[in-house]
Structure 1
Amino acid sequence: MFGGGEKKDDQIYKEGRGLFHKSTHSQQTTSNMPIDVQNTLEQLELSEKIALTAGVDIWHTVPIERLGVPSARTSDGPNGIRGTQFFNSEPAACLPASLGLGATWDQDLLYQVGELLAEESRAKSAHVVLAPTINIQRSPLGGRSFESFSEDPLLSGKLATQYVKGLQDNKVAACIKHFVTNDQENGRMGSNSVVTDRALREIYLKPFEIAVREANPKAFMTAYNKLNGTHVSEHDILGSVLRGEWKWRGLVMSDWFGTYSTSDAVNAGLDLEMPGPPRWRGEQLTHAVLSNKVTTETLDERVTNVLELVKYAQESGIPFNGPESTNNTPKTRALLRKLVADSTVLLKNDANILPLDKTKKVAVIGPNAKATAFCGGGSASLRPYYTVSPFEGITSKTGSEPDYAVGAYAHKELPDFASYLKSESGDEGIWDVRFYNDKRGAQDRKCFDQLTIEQTKLFLFDYSHKDIPKNKIFYVDATATLKVPKDGVYDFGMTLLGTAKFFVDDKCVLDCTKDQENGNSFFGEGTKEKIGSIELKANKDYAIRLEFGSEATSPRERGGLVSNGGGAVQAGMARQAAAEDTIAEAVELAKRSEQVILFSGLNMAWESEGFDRPNLSLPPHNDALIEAVLDANPNTVIVIQSGAPVEMPWASTAKTIVHATFGGNETGNGIADVLFGDVNPSAKLPITYPLKVQHTPSYYNFGHPKRTLYGEDVFVGYRHYEKVDREVLFPFGHGLSYTSFELSNLSVSKKDDTVTVTVNVKNTGSKTGAEIVQVYVSQEKPSIVRPVKELRGFSKVELDAGKSDTVTVELDVDQATSFWNEYISKWTSEADKYHIHVGTSSAGKHLEGEFEVKKTKNWLGL
Structure 2
Amino acid sequence: MPSLDEPPTNGHSWEPASFDVEFVLKRLTLDEKISLLAGEDFWHTVPVPRLGIPSIRLSDGPNGIRGTRFFGSVPSACLPCGTAIGATFDQELARDIGHLLADEARAKGAHVVLGPTINIQRAPLGGRGFESFSEDPLLSGIIAGNYCKGLQEKGITATLKHFVCNDMEHERMAVNSIVTDRALREIYLLPFMIAIREGRPGGIMTAYNKVNDLHASEHPELLQSILREEWGWDGLVMSDWFGTYSTSEAINAGLDLEMPGPSRWRGSALTHAVTANKVPLRKLDERVRAVLKVVKTAISSGIPQNAPETLLNREQDRRLLRKAGAESIVLLKNDDSNLPFKKTSKIAVIGPNSNIATYCGGGSASLNAYEAITPLDGITAQAAGEVIWTQGIYGHQKLPLIGNKLRTQDGRTGFSLKIYNDPPASESRRLLEERHETDSMVFFLDYKHPELETIWYADAKGTFIPEESGVYDFGLCLQGTGRLYIDGQLLVSNFENQRPGPSFLGAGTMEETGSQELVAGQEYEILVQWGCAKTSKLKAPGTVDFGHGGFRVSGCKRLDLKEGIEDAVKVARDVDQVVLFAGLSGEWESEGEDRETMVLPPHTDELIARVLEANPNTVVVIQSGTPVSMPWITQAKAVLHAWYGGNETGNAIADVIFGDVNPSGKLPLTFPRRLKDNPAHLNYRSEGGRCLYGEDVYVGYRYYDEAEIEPLFPFGHGLSYTTFSISNVRLTTRSSNSEISCTVDVTNTGARGGAVALQLYISPRAKPNPTIPKRPLQELKAFNKVRDLAVGESRTVSITFNSVRDTSYWDETAGMWCSRAGEYSARVALSSRDDKAVEAVFQVSETRWWGGLAP
1:87 to partner: Cα distance: 0.3
- Alpha-carbon distance in 2 for matches of 1:823, 1:624: 53
Asked if residue 215 in structure 1 is aligned to residue 199 in structure 2, the reply is yes
Q: Which amino acid aligns with 1:813?
A: S
1:378 alignment partner, SS class: coil
| Aligned with 1:572 (options 554, 568, 582) | 554
Asked if residue 361 in structure 1 is aligned to residue 352 in structure 2, the reply is no
Partner of 1:82: 66
| Aligned with 1:260 (options 229, 245, 268) | 245
| Aligned with 1:524 (options 498, 506, 523) | 506
Q: Which amino acid aligns with 1:789?
A: Q
- Alpha-carbon distance in 2 for matches of 1:835, 1:400: 52
1:640 alignment partner, SS class: strand
Partner of 1:617: 599
Partner of 1:792: 781
Q: Which amino acid aligns with 1:860?
A: G
Q: Does the aligned pair in 2 maintain the 1:28–1:320 contact within 8 Å?
A: no
1:678 to partner: Cα distance: 0.7
2:333 alignment partner, SS class: strand
Partner of 1:431: 415
Q: Does the aligned pair in 1 maintain the 2:173–2:542 contact within 8 Å?
A: no
Partner of 2:828: 838
1:653 alignment partner, SS class: coil
- Alpha-carbon distance in 2 for matches of 1:592, 1:557: 53
Runs of 4+ in 1 over 4 A off after TM superposition: 27-31, 557-562
Q: Does the aligned pair in 2 maintain the 1:552–1:565 contact within 8 Å?
A: no
Partner of 1:601: 583
User: What do the CA deviations read for 1:641-690 (whole angstroms, capped 9, x no partner)?
Assistant: 00000010111110000001111111100000000011110110000000
- Alpha-carbon distance in 2 for matches of 1:361, 1:546: 44
Q: Which amino acid aligns with 1:831?
A: A
Partner of 1:816: 806
Q: Does the aligned pair in 2 maintain the 1:28–1:322 contact within 8 Å?
A: no
| Aligned with 1:768 (options 750, 753, 756) | 753
1:485 to partner: Cα distance: 2.4
Q: Which amino acid aligns with 2:548?
A: G
Q: Could you say if the C-alpha distance between residues 400 and 322 of structure 1 is closer, same or farther in structure 2, counting changes exceeding 3 Å?
A: farther
1:565 to partner: Cα distance: 5.5
More deviation, 795-804/632-641: 795-804
Normalising by the residue count of structure 2, what TM-score does the alignment of the two structures yield?
0.96
1:854 to partner: Cα distance: 0.6
- Alpha-carbon distance in 2 for matches of 1:119, 1:31: 23
User: What do the CA deviations read for 1:799-856 (whole angstroms, capped 9, x no partner)?
Assistant: 1112111110110112210000112111100110110111111112210101101110
| Aligned with 1:122 (options 96, 99, 106) | 106
1:792 alignment partner, SS class: strand
- Alpha-carbon distance in 2 for matches of 1:806, 1:490: 61
Q: Which structure 2 residues correspond to residues 131-280 of structure 1 after superposition, within 5 A?
A: 131-236=115-220, 237-280=222-265
1:446 to partner: Cα distance: 3.0
Q: Which amino acid aligns with 1:219?
A: G
Q: Which amino acid aligns with 1:852?
A: Q
Q: Which amino acid aligns with 2:33?
A: K
| Aligned with 1:106 (options 90, 97, 106) | 90
1:71 alignment partner, SS class: coil
Q: Which amino acid aligns with 2:755?
A: A
1:504 to partner: Cα distance: 1.4
Asked if residue 395 in structure 1 is aligned to residue 380 in structure 2, the reply is yes
Q: Does the aligned pair in 2 maintain the 1:29–1:321 contact within 8 Å?
A: no
User: What do the CA deviations read for 1:559-603 (whole angstroms, capped 9, x no partner)?
Assistant: 985536622101111222232221111111111121100000000
| Aligned with 1:745 (options 728, 731, 736) | 728
Partner of 1:590: 572
More deviation, 160-169/697-706: 697-706
- Alpha-carbon distance in 1 for matches of 2:304, 2:320: 26
Q: Does the aligned pair in 1 maintain the 2:159–2:204 contact within 8 Å?
A: yes
- Alpha-carbon distance in 2 for matches of 1:379, 1:130: 10
- Alpha-carbon distance in 1 for matches of 2:121, 2:71: 30
Q: Does the aligned pair in 2 maintain the 1:461–1:562 contact within 8 Å?
A: no
- Alpha-carbon distance in 2 for matches of 1:354, 1:366: 18
Partner of 2:536: 554
Q: Does the aligned pair in 1 maintain the 2:698–2:776 contact within 8 Å?
A: yes
1:438 to partner: Cα distance: 2.4
More deviation, 249-258/475-484: 475-484
Q: Which structure 2 residues correspond to residues 485-524 of structure 1 after superposition, within 5 A?
A: 485-524=467-506
Partner of 1:330: 315
| Aligned with 1:646 (options 603, 611, 628) | 628
Partner of 2:525: 543
Asked if residue 713 in structure 1 is aligned to residue 703 in structure 2, the reply is no
1:555 to partner: Cα distance: 3.6
> Gaps (5+ residues) in structure 2?
none
Q: Which amino acid aligns with 1:635?
A: N
Q: Which structure 2 residues correspond to residues 412-491 of structure 1 after superposition, within 5 A?
A: 412-428=397-413, 430-440=414-424, 442-469=426-453, 472-491=454-473
| Aligned with 1:657 (options 614, 617, 639) | 639
Q: Could you say if the C-alpha distance between residues 417 and 29 of structure 1 is closer, same or farther in structure 2, counting changes exceeding 3 Å?
A: farther
Q: Which amino acid aligns with 1:554?
A: S
Partner of 2:47: 63
Q: Does the aligned pair in 2 maintain the 1:497–1:525 contact within 8 Å?
A: yes
Q: Which amino acid aligns with 1:834?
A: Y
Q: Does the aligned pair in 2 maintain the 1:433–1:451 contact within 8 Å?
A: yes
Q: Does the aligned pair in 1 maintain the 2:73–2:368 contact within 8 Å?
A: yes
Q: Does the aligned pair in 2 maintain the 1:750–1:851 contact within 8 Å?
A: no
Asked if residue 43 in structure 1 is aligned to residue 43 in structure 2, the reply is no
Partner of 1:315: 300
Q: Which amino acid aligns with 1:728?
A: P
Q: Does the aligned pair in 2 maintain the 1:76–1:380 contact within 8 Å?
A: yes
Q: Which amino acid aligns with 1:550?
A: C
How many residue pairs get matched?
Answer: 834
Q: Which structure 2 residues correspond to residues 91-102 of structure 1 after superposition, within 5 A?
A: 91-102=75-86
More deviation, 33-42/630-639: 33-42
Asked if residue 635 in structure 1 is aligned to residue 631 in structure 2, the reply is no
Q: Which amino acid aligns with 1:601?
A: G
Q: Which amino acid aligns with 1:745?
A: N
2:354 alignment partner, SS class: helix
Q: Does the aligned pair in 1 maintain the 2:344–2:385 contact within 8 Å?
A: no
Partner of 2:273: 288
Q: Which amino acid aligns with 1:808?
A: S
- Alpha-carbon distance in 2 for matches of 1:534, 1:293: 63
1:110 to partner: Cα distance: 0.3
Asked if residue 861 in structure 1 is aligned to residue 852 in structure 2, the reply is yes
User: What do the CA deviations read for 1:90-117 (whole angstroms, capped 9, x no partner)?
Assistant: 0000000010000000000000000000
Q: Which amino acid aligns with 1:707?
A: R
Q: Does the aligned pair in 1 maintain the 2:482–2:495 contact within 8 Å?
A: yes
RMSD value, Cα: 1.5
1:651 alignment partner, SS class: coil
Q: Does the aligned pair in 1 maintain the 2:174–2:542 contact within 8 Å?
A: no
Sequence identity (%): 51
1:788 to partner: Cα distance: 0.9
- Alpha-carbon distance in 2 for matches of 1:555, 1:367: 36
Asked if residue 373 in structure 1 is aligned to residue 358 in structure 2, the reply is yes
1:767 to partner: Cα distance: 1.3
Q: Which amino acid aligns with 1:816?
A: D
